[in-house]
Structure 1
Amino acid sequence: MTITVVLVDDQALVRGAMAALLDLEADLRVVGEAGTGDEALDLVLRVRPDVVLMDVDMPGMDGIETARLLRERGSAARVLIVTTFGRPGYLRRGLQAGAAGFVVKDTPARLLADAVRRVHAGMRVVDPTLATDSLIAGESPLTPREADVLRAARDGGSVADIAAAVFLSEGTVRNHLSSAIGKTNARNRADASRIANDNGWL
């Protein structure tokens, strides 16, 4: 039986390399490629592949949000998230969004093909180092609103800019920033954003 695969990554070179490697496997066939989350949604719902290999970090909608929307829209495709950055928070958020597996991009080709097969068979595949790091790091200490505010703060705008972006009052934004700084043991909001981002909480 042939397992059909869609590749989603904003770097064409990476997609091409993965497609070439997977097409060497007799039982795997790449049936489509997308460079953004929006493109992936349309493609997956139209092509209906068995497995989607999805990058996390993409312009616009990231891979975790795309996985969540695919599940909400009734896609039966199994999502295997592949990323350069093994951030522990990504694993937890990805699995909560409905992803069936999580591997890093330096996974050898043979193991990546095997991960596709295992995910297709209904199993969950998680990079062991990432799983260990995720257990050690624990869940994000941030509330959803604090995470929203830190995401908006990454662009370096003023409190007024952040408030406008997240539709909150400036006072509420200051409170969320202060709380997030405390929870991440950061020096300031830029440091809090960096720490939260490095842990995959944003």
Structure 2
Amino acid sequence: MIRLLLADDQALVRGALAALLDLETDLEVVAQVGRGDEVVAAALAARADVALLDVEMPGLDGIGAAAALTAQVLGCRSLIVTTFGRPGYLRRALDAGANGFVVKDTPAGQLADAVRRVHSGLRVVDPDLAVASLTVGSSPLTEREAQVLALAADGGTVAQVAAEAYLSEGTVRNYLSSAMGKTGARTRAEAVRIARENGWL
């Protein structure tokens, strides 16, 4: 029996996934959480074999949760199951140690098969997303540029972003300008939009 942990901030989605996966004779949902920062504790407590993680969750996103599982929970593999099939998310998830990445409209039988394959040590990636990821390429943004752009995305002024990132205002302006140049954007808001659409933030 493969023991599953479901992590999704939408209770209805979690419940639907649990109901579908519990229909499989070799799969058992042993834990459900609605926040990314609850994943590691739940995986340890329930002795989960595979964690199905949404990307966008409060506390810690699914990519961060996959990284935490890789570092802290030996024997628990992670499968990103998300609505947001963005190429940058795929690359970041795999870099974080996720063992698979599929979108939520994957048919139930294919999702169950993806869980089994991840559990057996294989890597599973949505084929359309894999092609898109190769086409788009990796993020052109440095870690700091992405951080500053993400802080600015919430509407923060340069002074507010500088205070939160522990940088000077001039350095924040330079990072924002560089991010705009690398994304081909004319404005900060456009740079945020482009980066989000590609999964770079």
TM-score with structure 1 length normalisation?
Answer: 0.98
Q: For residue 150 of structure 1, what is the amino acid of its counterpart?
A: L
Give yes or no for the alignment of 1:47 onto 2:38.
no
Unaligned runs of 5+ in 1: none
Mapped partners of 1:115, 1:107: distance in 2: 10
Counterpart of 2:59 in 1: which secondary structure?
Answer: coil
| TM superposition shift of 1:60 | 2.7
Report 1:138-177 matches (<5 A). Answer: 138-177=137-176
Give yes or no for the alignment of 1:17 onto 2:16.
yes
Give yes or no for the alignment of 1:126 onto 2:125.
yes
Mapped partners of 2:68, 2:113: distance in 1: 26
What RMSD in Å do the two structures reach over aligned CA positions?
Answer: 0.8
Mapped partners of 1:47, 1:194: distance in 2: 38
Q: Which residue of 2 aligns with 1:117?
A: 116
Offset from partner CA, 1:140-186 (integer Å, 9 cap, x none):
00000000001101111110011111111100000000000000001
Mapped partners of 2:133, 2:114: distance in 1: 19
Mapped partners of 2:58, 2:48: distance in 1: 23
Q: For residue 114 of structure 2, what is the amino acid of its counterpart?
A: A
Counterpart of 2:74 in 1: which secondary structure?
Answer: coil
Mapped partners of 2:66, 2:135: distance in 1: 25
Offset from partner CA, 1:62-100 (integer Å, 9 cap, x none):
000111111121432110000001100000000000000
Q: Which residue of 2 aligns with 1:37?
A: 36
Offset from partner CA, 1:100-130 (integer Å, 9 cap, x none):
0000000000000000000001100000000
Q: Which residue of 2 aligns with 1:198?
A: 197
Residues 40, 72 of structure 2: 8 Å contact kept: no
Q: Which residue of 2 aligns with 1:95?
A: 94
Mapped partners of 1:74, 1:62: distance in 2: 17
| TM superposition shift of 1:48 | 2.0
Unaligned runs of 5+ in 2: none
Mapped partners of 1:186, 1:84: distance in 2: 26
Mapped partners of 2:160, 2:146: distance in 1: 16
Q: Which residue of 1 aligns with 2:26?
A: 27
Q: Which residue of 1 aligns with 2:70?
A: 71
Q: Which residue of 2 aligns with 1:86?
A: 85
Residues 88, 134 of structure 1: 8 Å contact kept: yes
Offset from partner CA, 1:3-25 (integer Å, 9 cap, x none):
11000000000000000000000
Offset from partner CA, 1:6-64 (integer Å, 9 cap, x none):
00000000000000000000000000000001111210122221100000011231000
Q: For residue 177 of structure 1, what is the amino acid of its counterpart?
A: L
Runs of 4+ in 1 over 4 A off after TM superposition: none
Mapped partners of 1:3, 1:74: distance in 2: 16
Residue identity over aligned pairs, in percent, reads 66
Mapped partners of 1:100, 1:66: distance in 2: 12
Q: For residue 200 of structure 2, what is the amino acid of its counterpart?
A: W
Mapped partners of 2:86, 2:125: distance in 1: 13
